[in-house]
Chain A
Amino acid sequence: MKKKGVVLLFILLIVLPLAGQNNKMFWKGDDNEKTAVGIIDNMTNTELLGQILMFSPRNDSVDGEFIHMLERNGIGSVKLYGRNISDLEKTARDIGRLQSAALNTRFGIPLFIATDQEGGWVRHIKHEMSTTPGSMAIGASSFPYDAAMAGYLIASELAVLGVNMNFAPVVDLYIAHDAYVIGPRSFSDDPQAAGILGTSFMHGQQKVGVISTAKHFPGHGRAETDSHLVLPTIRIDYSTLKRMDLYPYIMMINEGLPAIMSGHLYYPQLVDSIKPASLSKRILTDILRKDLGFEGLIITDDMTMVGANTGEDSLPVSCRKAVEAGNDIILVGMTYQSYRNIIKYLLAHMKTNTEFRERVRQSVKRVLMTKLRYLRAENAVNLQPDPAAVHENLEKVKSNAGSFFLEQACRGVTAFEKNKGEYNPELLRKSSVLVISQFDEFITAGRERLPSADGLLIAYTPYHSARKRTIERVMDTIDGYDTIIFHLSNPNSAQVLSACSEYSDKIIVISSLNPVHIREAGFDFTAFAVFGTGRESFAAAWGALLGDFVPSGTLPFKLKENEKK
């Protein structure tokens, strides 16, 4: 009897909140506009403000303090960084707890749970999540199908965990080749290609209810520096910007793009004082809203990045300016103390400044409209993902993907200009081969195909330069071999490769991540780019090396032979 009572209580505990959920305002009525307005008219300042804030938990788990803060302030969105993830089952459980807390608030408004899962180089959630070939590999094959499928599969994996918003696709045009921070995250330097591929990626994500966020508006691909570290300056006039960098956005807006991330990038020709685009009313309101007609969400890049903190302003003041500029969601990943300060400060401002309060209300309307449209949809991402089924469900996604990522990686393999059509795979089978790589997996993949090959693993770090002893070790080893497969993946290995330039006729380079690094070693090598660092990309590289197929990708940006760093 006692046991039965416990079971009954348990069932009630689970069912009651769920039953309650449907009675709350967010879940009632078919007319999204009416529901949103109804909620907003009843909201307190705290509830309004909460919907435009996106915070991230402190550690690798969601603690009670974070949930408490979320409930008390009606915070509307949560960002998960790599540091917040220790294992995927736990992540699914944490997301369920966060959503329960949100559903228990007055209107039952669920959360946006966001992360950066661009595919390829940048993926904040690792573990069993796929390492895909990445945007530049898609740009190299330039099939919209590849972009759509990549978006679909990446989003399907996110949906298993309960993540319903992805800060992808990156539609920055890779124009300044020193923009290492963008590099292989970009589809192309061509506005039309980036627009078509970005749109396809978005539709793929949309299929499984994941909200796409195109970034970094107006465009990070011309920045020679990284907005994490400084405020990059981009000297370009509006008509060029509109014809080039904004083109992918214009295309995607026409196709129903739900969100755009504003970047911490400074455009002296467009704004009248030194401030990032993310804090510029001219760029966000006059250009993005009025000129481009975007009615979706504008989300800031993380407000703690150096690019957003260049002046005297405190973080709360910068957040206020971000709202005034036209952002709808303010992203901050810092301490709980900082979140409290931001809330307190912005609330005080709402109280005394009716114009500001009106600005917040406008944003809340956009937030609610997007939540109603996506989180109540038939294909909405589950608010209560089943932690126990995470591994099984991820396996399901991967088995549905079949050999897609391998095929995509193969379609993306690109021969550099020099050796187009000249490469003879038979060479490899007849000679003694040494494989040099910063990735153990690359050597292993090679030896599966070519068991007689020897491997030499070199360090990936330091990122920007190679240690002297690494170069010496490589130089000592390569003499004894007929052919060297050199895997180039960062400036460190580029430096090693350039030390080997006298052996260029027996070296074949496979480039992962940013192909631009080859310019540091010169263009005398036979070389192929695969862009990715996942299993499929490495398999594709070896397939190309051994003549399984003839590489047909095209480098999606103009790398000039004489280009020097």
Chain B
Amino acid sequence: MKWKRAKERHAGMLLEFLKCHEEKSIAPISFLLSNKNYHGRYLAQGGALVQMENHEIINAVMMKPGFICMPVLPRKDEFKASIEDLNSIFLPLLQSVFSAAGPSSWIDMFCKSVSLQPQTCVDYDYMVLEPAVQHGPQEASAYTIKKACVKDVEELMPLQRDYELEEVLVKPELYDESGSRALLKRQVREEIIFIALDKGTIVAKSGTNAKSYTYYQIGGVYTKHENRRNGLQQILMKKLCQIAADNGRSLALFVKPENHAAIRLYKSLGFNKTGKYSIYYMNF
């Protein structure tokens, strides 16, 4: 089955397809739904590749600005890019791809099929809390907890930088301060980010970075080193659980398998590991 670039008119079909694999495609759904006034333009520019059978999409690869590609390959056994597909569709697009992210088996299959050579692979455990449960009343704390707003962005920047350097970026020279600030500004506006303040200073953050029909994806969880081991993230995460429960959403997150402290926290909140996730980095 041939691959093709999705056009504007495929938007509905694409969502129809993605919604059936919601747990594994929160970010792609979030992107399409939140950009629905623009998804026509996004698709018109070839932002998604699809493989069709009987007028239905059976596999897809979503491209996000910033050159992250997110394959959604529930029928990965049938994901075979022909030489023709490779030359005409994948190669021109993938030359600029910086990373591929998604469930490990999909990413693995995808990179092999299109001969992408990753320079680094980072593995994550995928954990979900389903459905989000209501926790008891907030216990008293020495910290102030509140939702971040745009005027907090400057003060959040050092935490964001340390978070990216320690948890996300595979090379420190990839840190891009202005890009990072723009992203944080957008997230503060469109997502839910909680911050903890100690005597007026921000010491920890935690929030969502994507939402689909019934999920929030959690990201950007970071506590300053000197404030760790104080149960701060537990308070922030409980806030997010509460918000999720109030919205009827489940929570999903990625955590590095060696981050035992975080995994302990997530487990204590009721999260279960449901799979493995990978990010493969290319071209840097």
B-binding residues in A (CB < 8 A) = 58, 83, 226, 228-230, 304-306, 309-310, 313-317, 319-320, 334-335, 337-338, 340-342, 344-346, 348, 461, 463-464
18 further interface pairs, Cβ-Cβ under 8 Å (given A228-B12, A314-B211):
A58-B20, A226-B12, A229-B9, A230-B36, A314-B214, A315-B214, A320-B248, A335-B19, A335-B20, A335-B22, A337-B130, A341-B130, A341-B131, A341-B248, A341-B250, A345-B131, A345-B248, A348-B134
**Would B36 and A338 count as touching, CB distance under 8 A?**
no
**Would B248 and A306 count as touching, CB distance under 8 A?**
no
User: A461 contacts which chain B residues (CB < 8 A)?
Assistant: 55
**Would B22 and A334 count as touching, CB distance under 8 A?**
yes
Say if the beta carbon of B247 comes within 8 Å of chain A: yes
- Which of A83, A304, A315 meets B248, CB within 8 Å? A315
Size of the B side of the interface (Cβ < 8 Å), in residues, is 25
Ranked 3 nearest A-B pairs via Cβ: A316-B248, A345-B248, A315-B213
**Would A306 and B12 count as touching, CB distance under 8 A?**
yes
B122 nearest CB across to chain A (Å): 26
B32 nearest CB across to chain A (Å): 9
**Would A341 and B249 count as touching, CB distance under 8 A?**
yes
A438 and B10 alpha carbons, distance in the complex (Å): 21
A-binding residues in B (CB < 8 A) = 9, 11-12, 15-16, 19-23, 33, 36, 55-56, 130-131, 134, 211, 213-214, 245, 247-250
User: B245 contacts which chain A residues (CB < 8 A)?
Assistant: 345, 348
- Which of B15, B21, B249 meets A306, CB within 8 Å? B15
Interface of B, helix, strand, loop or mixed by DSSP: mixed
- Which of A306, A345, A348 meets B36, CB within 8 Å? A306
**Would B36 and A310 count as touching, CB distance under 8 A?**
yes
A344 and B15 alpha carbons, distance in the complex (Å): 24
A324 and B12 alpha carbons, distance in the complex (Å): 27
**Would A342 and B12 count as touching, CB distance under 8 A?**
no
**Would B12 and A338 count as touching, CB distance under 8 A?**
no
A230 and B9 alpha carbons, distance in the complex (Å): 11
Residue of B nearest to A303 (CB): B213
A463 and B21 alpha carbons, distance in the complex (Å): 26
Residue of A nearest to B14 (CB): A229
**Would A334 and B213 count as touching, CB distance under 8 A?**
yes
A512 nearest CB across to chain B (Å): 18
User: A83 contacts which chain B residues (CB < 8 A)?
Assistant: 56
B56 nearest CB across to chain A (Å): 8
A344 and B130 alpha carbons, distance in the complex (Å): 10
A317 and B33 alpha carbons, distance in the complex (Å): 16
User: B33 contacts which chain A residues (CB < 8 A)?
Assistant: 306, 309
B4 nearest CB across to chain A (Å): 10
Interface centre among B15, B23, B245 (most CB of A within 10 A): B15
User: B134 contacts which chain A residues (CB < 8 A)?
Assistant: 348
**Would B213 and A304 count as touching, CB distance under 8 A?**
yes
User: A335 contacts which chain B residues (CB < 8 A)?
Assistant: 19-23
- Which of A304, A313, A315, A340 meets B131, CB within 8 Å? A340
A194 and B93 alpha carbons, distance in the complex (Å): 50
